Structure 1
Amino acid sequence: MNDNLKNQEAEELSLREMIEQYTRYWYFFVIGVLIALVLAFLYLRYTPQLYQSKATIIIKDEKTQSPLEMAAFSQFGSFLSRFKTNQIDNELAIFNSKRLISETVKELQLNIKYEVMGNIKTSELYGYRPFEVKFQSFDESFVDPIPVLYFKMLSESEFHLESEPLNISTNYSFGEQISLPFGVITVLPNLDDAEKFRGYKNKTILVSYNSVETVALRFQERVNILNTDAKSNVVELSIQTQNREKGEDFLNELVRQYNKDAVQDRNEIAKKTSAFIESRLQIITRELDSVETNKEDFKSTNRLTDIQAEAQITLENASEFNKRQLDVSTQMELSNTMIDYMKNADRDELLPANIGISNESVGSAVNNYNELILYRNKLLQTSTPKNPVVKSVNDQIAQMRSSILESLENSKNALRIAMKDLNMQENIISSKISQVPAKEKIFRGIERQQTIKEQLYLFLLQQREEASIALAATADRAKIVDSAYGPQEPVSPKKSLIYLGALLAGLLVPFGGIYSFNLLNTKVKGRKDVERHLKSIPIIGEIPKVQKGDSDLIKHNDQSIMAEAYRIFRTNLQYLFINKLEKNEEGKSLIVTSTIKGEGKTFVAFNLALTLALTGKKVVLVGADIRNPQLQRYLPEHLKAKKGLTEYIVYEDLQVADVVAQSEYNENLNIIVSGAIPPNPAELLMQKRTSTLVEELRKQYDYIILDTAPAMLVTDTILINKLADITLYVVRADYTDRRLLDFAKDAIEDGRLTNVAMVLNNVALNNFGYGNKYGYAYSREERSLLKRILNKQ
């Protein structure tokens, strides 16, 4: 149960420490969020906003073919089915064609861009413009890009034009023709709204000209045309532009240009049909005039008045037969006419439609043939005859033309057989009316020819009127469901997402920085790092980092954080001596060492000596680091050359008093410097005189502190460790690598270092366990608000 509680507490401490790694730098997160939000604001302020405009249309179906027609043309039914399936895709391709978009750009003059210059960015002018630049003429041979023209309105009649590439900076009058290297322009003022016009005075307005093709390609990349439902003909058009009104105008004009293009295609068929009917009417009119003249001459010559009254009874029985014979003759005439036209006409021309041929399959095939011709012509506008798609369509056209001719020939042969049968029946009827005079027979033939020509003439007149009506009343191909519209709010950039992203970035960047720093930083940061590696070794002192401008030595009546830390260090040391030495009345010896150079062992040793001396105890500080002496920097200049530990060991006639120097910082503190640097430091420290010195010092002083060499670099400290009651092992925060603590752990476990206690030096105040962190200190110094926020001394 106790083990579970300990594990739970350890996990809670580990989680709390992890959180504290970031919360102690909370001001970085606040600053990061503020900077990110400011950057987001500036980004939103100066990034062009994009508005989305949408339009919805329905593409109308062509006249649906009946099952009978489809059965009649089953030989190319697969193509017709594929053509019907791909109809919407073809129309979408037309919508997104460069040709149609170029017409839209040209109609709206989108290739001429007007912008007003601001303090930081320029904004496009669309809708109201204070003036309009008319390009009266343009030199197509001008190769260089058209430079931007800078206009500034001076008054309602005058403006200033400037262009550095063209070396122009001149005042002009509105309406004046201006000759430029690329052409002639005229600037016309827009005075419809005088107040708006005056608002643009003295503002710089940029006018840039681009080719229609270049602008069309840009719009072609941005416009999105989508068939929302494969089962329907509903098409949605959308585009994103910096100006919502511009996007709406573009989509509406694109639909209008599409309808205009579709109407032109249908009118072309109607015009071809009308021309064919007119040519046939002229022929039929001449033939009808000839028949009527023959009838008149026949009656005049033979003095006939009402021959039919004589054969009324016989003719009534044959009336139904005559009607059939008349219909067959008419159809034969139309079939022959259509065949002659197809043989004589160019293969790329459209065929006349709806001329009265009773064979409905032929009429349907002609309509499909004309649609295929138009489709081929549109492909040729954007490709060459060598294009595989164009070749495929040409093959299909040839196939359909051959099929139509074959169907007409078959229809003509069927009519010829029917006529032959009718002629046989006519002979039978003629035998029954043999009593009718020969003149009646001749007259009847003339009337029959007249009737045929009259019916054909009336039929062609009717078809001409229908073609004229179709030409005048051609409906739009695209029915507008919703005209172009768009929301008032821009679709990009989205403020909420930008601010949310900025907020997350403002938090994540400091978090990532701190995480990366902690991940890559292998230095000891605080007490917890030492405790994790050396769990059984006590930490009896935490020495705060010396702040800039503060003294690094403990003074009499010192009330600083450092002085209080050394007092706590001294108290913990006293309790450690009680546990270790019990009632030993002799002086207590300490060794101060570290792992490597630079961890502050001399600094800690000297301040510890001062702190102990402040209690009235006699303290001696021995410079046992005879390889790299550092203790002499705490002595006055005249004592730095005094004999020290090295001389005492070498010269046996020297006494303790000969090497002891009085410290100027405290009367209870004496110092024995290292002396001259010997060639054999390790062997020298192994001499008996070293232990003799410590024994002598125990009799004269309450505390003997030996400042030794780094334990990992040299063996000196290991050799004299037995002379110390306590070994103080100094670790410097933000300097000592955590991996070096493994050396101290191994040395303690192996017994090379005994009675070890850890001292953590150079601890930052935000990692410091005492003093101002909890608002309790002797110091009364006033700190600035920023220092109090950042918890800095």
Structure 2
Amino acid sequence: MDQKIFPKENKEVSIKEAVEQYTRYWYLFLLGAFIALVVAFIYIRYTPKLYESRATIIIKDEKSSNSPIDLAAFSQFGNFLSRFNSSKIENELSIFNSKRIIEATVKELGLNIKYESVGAIKTTEMYSYLPFTVQYQSFKKESSNNIAPKLYFDIISESEYKIEDEAHTFSGNYKFGESVSLPFGEITVLPNTNEPEKFKGFLEKKVLVTYLPVENVALNYQAKVSVINEIKNSNVVELSIASAVTEKAEEFLNELIDQYNEDAITDRNEIAKKTSQFIASRIEIITKELDSVESNKEIFKSSNRLTDIQAEAQIILENASEYNKKQLDVGTQLELSKTMIDYMENSSKQDLLPSNIGIESQEVAESVNNYNQLILYRNKLLQNSTSKNPVVENVNSQLEQIRSSILGSLKNSSNALKVAMKDLNIQESTLNSKISQVPAKEKIFRGIERQQTIKEQLYLFLLQQREEASISLAATSPKAKIVDYAYSNKTPVSPQIPLIYLGAFMAGLLVPFMGIYGVNLLNTKVTSRRDVERHLPTTPIVGEIPKIKRGDSELIQHNDRSIMAEAYRILRTNLQYLFINKLEENNTGKTLIVTSTIKGEGKTFVAFNLALTLALTGKKVVLVGADIRNPQLQRYLPDHLKTKKGLTEYIVYGDMQVEDVVAQSEYNSNLSIVLSGAIPPNPAELLMQKRTTTFIDELKKEFDFIIMDTAPSMLVTDTILINKLADITLYVVRAGYTDKRLLDFPQDAINDGRLSNVAMVLNNVNLNNFGYGNKYGYAYSREERSLLQKLLNK
């Protein structure tokens, strides 16, 4: 844009103006901040303070239980085990925050029943001491989801109380300890008289008791409790919760840890019990087989009258003892492998597998333990989800792979043992060939004894494993070691008083700011001279007329010292500078046209008061009503002048003289008035007559100033037609009325040459918008204002 139209200093001033748009309403910001701080104070005063309670534990890494970490040596499970190890702590955190564990905690502490002391303004929860306890014994069928209404209790005496529901549908007095039947079910109220002084303090006080479903309370605690791994890459876990009642929060955290330990102990006991059951069943079978072998041995020796056959082949047997030992070991492992294979093929895929039954394959033993851990983990997931859960399906897939791997390993081990047994039998055959002289009965007897020895060793081994399982079941330790029992901070975490006050203060400033900004943003009306200057940067503004208050006179009075009178004096002075270059040839008067864009902008008001102001200087002034379409000048005249002939009649009737239409004003002896006259059918054509120019020329000979009140320029063409007759065109814009977009019309008219020698007058300006932001305004005026008006800058 052209720098002449928008100079640099105008930009700087506009920034000041933007700031002053808000600073002039400083009282709104002060009031907003004060109200916001009061609201914040009330909020802090009556909002319960929340304190954070914490507890710290360590999750034990029990390698003795053959945890999945120990299985990392298996290359075929390497990827799975690394993922399982990395998410172990996360899994434990999810158990802590599970709905199942929290529900058990809520039930154990009875947190679904809430007791509150009803005060005059706010209600305070009670926990450490309760004057009575309410036992909800049963709910009626129509009470869906075991929902009971809020009950208000008034303790009348040590034996009697009053009960009333929140909706006031029922009430009554009852005795402590008796069963009370209410519309929703039955309750029993038991007094707490262990501390008589505290109990008496609740006499005639109202206590609110709220019963909520355990599930709802558990979900609420699940959302509030925080369980985090305090130190990364460690087993340290921190539990925290924010509550207004610290005793309640501390007991909740401690009980949550206890419930977690009980759950872990139950899981481990389940494995031990399953193993004990398997060993017991195997002992029963081995016992029967051992009895059968011993009976066969006794029958064989009796029927064959054998005594000490071994002495006859002592030398050979000593040589074969090593092979016999190997055969015993291989036979035992083969029998255990076969038993395990039979159990896996006949048992359900949902069952746990027996562990530590003596199989020498470390790979199989560790795989069994890993399989059992995944079974327990899947069962926990199924408690809070369905079998369609992607996590459950993933675990099932892993279980299938591990089970298949275990079964394959057992079969491979069994086949290897059979091959080893076959080799040992071949070696035995070699030895038997050396003792061919030993009777065939000795061979049979040796086979019987071998079977007896295998069964005995297996029987003793199973007895040992049963004792170990019993010891493991009896000596189960907690999984979570408590580092710090629950404790509470003394400083509340909510509400955060400094932050609330700061936020309230900022909101108190922001609301008025947004209000003022919104009003200014939506306001399309002209408010100050800046709005005019932006649209008409090269057109001078010669006057600002203040807004008239209710009850004030619309016309300038003699010796008037009001702000409006001073504004017209400034307008008069500025006009002198506009006329300074005009040559006063033949001592003719100066002509001014007063117009506007649309009707209602106050051009007649401005024209009349300007005429009065010029007349006060002793100059002869004539005010001409040139708006012959909608005359407005009559409203400022007495009744006897309203019917006088005017401009229209002068133009139409050629024999009329100027003196016939000029009337002396009663407001000032130097002011004369020419009315518009009768409204013609062709105003535009009438003003184009030569008589119009003659009329102005005649007036110039007799008057110093001719002020013409014309029609709105945008609505009709009248003003454009007579604009050439004027020395100055005063264009009136009304603040708070004229739309900013209408200012484009005078700018276009000036650029097109339809209007010339234009000067702007801003009418109806609020005192706050006077001049450049009212930094100075008309402070020299002696207008009296009240203290409140001075404070509010009104």
Give the equivalent residue in structure 2 for 1:734. 736
Structure-1 separation of matches of 2:489 and 2:412: 57
Give the equivalent residue in structure 2 for 1:134. 135
Deviation at 1:467, TM superposition (A): 1.7
Give the equivalent residue in structure 1 for 2:19. 19
Structure-1 separation of matches of 2:318 and 2:49: 85
- CA separation of 1:93/1:306 partners in 2, compared to 1, >3 Å: closer, same or farther? same
1:406 aligns with 2:407: no
Deviation at 1:70, TM superposition (A): 7.6
Deviations 1:79-113 (A, max 9, x none): 66666566556545544544333323322323323
Contact 2:131–2:198 at 8 Å: present in 1 too?
A: yes
Deviation at 1:623, TM superposition (A): 1.5
2:186 counterpart SS class = strand
1:679 counterpart SS class = coil
Between 1:333-342 and 1:199-208, the stretch displaced more is 333-342
1:698 aligns with 2:700: yes
Deviation at 1:568, TM superposition (A): 2.0
Give the equivalent residue in structure 1 for 2:653. 651
Equivalent runs, 1:303-702 vs 2, <5 Å: 323-324=325-326, 326-328=328-330, 330-331=332-333, 334-335=336-337, 338=340, 348-382=350-384, 389=392, 392=397, 395-396=400-401, 399=404, 402-403=407-408, 405-407=410-412, 409-410=414-415, 413-414=418-419, 416-417=421-422, 420=425, 423-424=428-429, 427=432, 456=458, 458-480=460-482, 483=485, 487=489, 494-582=496-584, 585-702=587-704
Deviation at 1:186, TM superposition (A): 1.3
Deviation at 1:637, TM superposition (A): 2.1
Deviation at 1:687, TM superposition (A): 3.3
Contact 2:24–2:793 at 8 Å: present in 1 too?
A: no
Contact 2:192–2:199 at 8 Å: present in 1 too?
A: yes
- CA separation of 1:191/1:669 partners in 2, compared to 1, >3 Å: closer, same or farther? farther
User: TM-score of the superposition, structure 2-length normalised?
Assistant: 0.84
1:581 counterpart SS class = coil
Give the equivalent residue in structure 2 for 1:211. 213
Deviation at 1:760, TM superposition (A): 2.0
Structure-2 separation of matches of 1:178 and 1:408: 70
The AA in structure 2 aligned to 1:590 is L
Give the equivalent residue in structure 1 for 2:722. 720
The AA in structure 2 aligned to 1:101 is I
Structure-1 separation of matches of 2:350 and 2:538: 101
- CA separation of 1:392/1:665 partners in 2, compared to 1, >3 Å: closer, same or farther? same
Deviation at 1:546, TM superposition (A): 1.0
Give the equivalent residue in structure 1 for 2:103. 102
1:100 counterpart SS class = helix
Deviation at 1:406, TM superposition (A): 1.9
The AA in structure 1 aligned to 2:583 is L
Contact 2:621–2:704 at 8 Å: present in 1 too?
A: yes
Structure-2 separation of matches of 1:52 and 1:105: 19
2:693 counterpart SS class = helix
Contact 1:276–1:352 at 8 Å: present in 2 too?
A: yes
Contact 2:323–2:428 at 8 Å: present in 1 too?
A: no
The AA in structure 1 aligned to 2:259 is Q
Deviation at 1:587, TM superposition (A): 3.5
Deviation at 1:551, TM superposition (A): 1.7
Structure-2 separation of matches of 1:762 and 1:67: 87
2:144 counterpart SS class = coil
Deviation at 1:188, TM superposition (A): 2.0
- CA separation of 1:625/1:449 partners in 2, compared to 1, >3 Å: closer, same or farther? closer
Q: 1:172 aligns with which of 171, 174, 187?
A: 174
2:208 counterpart SS class = strand
Contact 1:559–1:778 at 8 Å: present in 2 too?
A: no
Identity %: 68
Q: 1:785 aligns with which of 781, 784, 787?
A: 787
User: TM-score of the superposition, structure 1-length normalised?
Assistant: 0.84
The AA in structure 1 aligned to 2:28 is F
Deviation at 1:561, TM superposition (A): 1.0
Deviations 1:190-222 (A, max 9, x none): 345555545544443332323323333444455
Mark the runs of 5 or more structure 2 residues left unpaired by the alignment: none
Deviation at 1:170, TM superposition (A): 0.7
- CA separation of 1:440/1:588 partners in 2, compared to 1, >3 Å: closer, same or farther? closer
Deviations 1:484-504 (A, max 9, x none): 566555556654444444444
1:254 aligns with 2:256: yes
Between 1:571-580 and 1:114-123, the stretch displaced more is 114-123
Deviations 1:300-328 (A, max 9, x none): 99999999999999887776666555545
The AA in structure 2 aligned to 1:204 is K
Give the equivalent residue in structure 2 for 1:112. 113
2:579 counterpart SS class = helix
Give the equivalent residue in structure 2 for 1:146. 148
Deviations 1:648-679 (A, max 9, x none): 33334444443333333223323222222122
1:152 counterpart SS class = strand
Give the equivalent residue in structure 2 for 1:156. 158
Structure-2 separation of matches of 1:721 and 1:782: 42
Deviation at 1:580, TM superposition (A): 1.8
- CA separation of 1:514/1:454 partners in 2, compared to 1, >3 Å: closer, same or farther? same
Structure-2 separation of matches of 1:745 and 1:28: 37
Deviation at 1:787, TM superposition (A): 1.1
Deviation at 1:547, TM superposition (A): 1.8
1:29 aligns with 2:34: no
Structure-2 separation of matches of 1:653 and 1:336: 144
- CA separation of 1:199/1:644 partners in 2, compared to 1, >3 Å: closer, same or farther? farther
Structure-2 separation of matches of 1:633 and 1:443: 148
Structure-1 separation of matches of 2:684 and 2:22: 46
Contact 2:17–2:773 at 8 Å: present in 1 too?
A: no
Structure-1 separation of matches of 2:416 and 2:159: 76
Contact 1:272–1:350 at 8 Å: present in 2 too?
A: yes
Mark the runs of 5 or more structure 1 residues left unpaired by the alignment: none
The AA in structure 2 aligned to 1:416 is M
Structure-1 separation of matches of 2:632 and 2:604: 7
Contact 2:563–2:783 at 8 Å: present in 1 too?
A: no
Deviation at 1:15, TM superposition (A): 2.5
Structure-1 separation of matches of 2:76 and 2:730: 106
Structure-1 separation of matches of 2:469 and 2:81: 25
The AA in structure 2 aligned to 1:20 is E
- CA separation of 1:235/1:70 partners in 2, compared to 1, >3 Å: closer, same or farther? closer
Contact 1:58–1:235 at 8 Å: present in 2 too?
A: yes
Between 1:440-449 and 1:509-518, the stretch displaced more is 440-449
- CA separation of 1:682/1:83 partners in 2, compared to 1, >3 Å: closer, same or farther? closer
- CA separation of 1:530/1:641 partners in 2, compared to 1, >3 Å: closer, same or farther? same
2:153 counterpart SS class = strand
The AA in structure 1 aligned to 2:157 is S
Structure-1 separation of matches of 2:389 and 2:748: 83
1:206 counterpart SS class = strand
- CA separation of 1:745/1:354 partners in 2, compared to 1, >3 Å: closer, same or farther? closer
The AA in structure 2 aligned to 1:210 is L
Deviation at 1:283, TM superposition (A): 6.4
- CA separation of 1:345/1:778 partners in 2, compared to 1, >3 Å: closer, same or farther? closer
Deviation at 1:120, TM superposition (A): 5.3
Deviation at 1:184, TM superposition (A): 2.4
Deviation at 1:556, TM superposition (A): 1.5
Structure-2 separation of matches of 1:12 and 1:385: 72
Q: CA RMSD in A?
A: 4.5
Contact 1:328–1:415 at 8 Å: present in 2 too?
A: yes
2:581 counterpart SS class = helix
Structure-1 separation of matches of 2:589 and 2:383: 110
1:641 counterpart SS class = coil
Deviation at 1:42, TM superposition (A): 4.7
Give the equivalent residue in structure 2 for 1:58. 59
The AA in structure 1 aligned to 2:27 is Y
Deviation at 1:337, TM superposition (A): 5.3
Deviation at 1:472, TM superposition (A): 1.3
1:511 counterpart SS class = helix
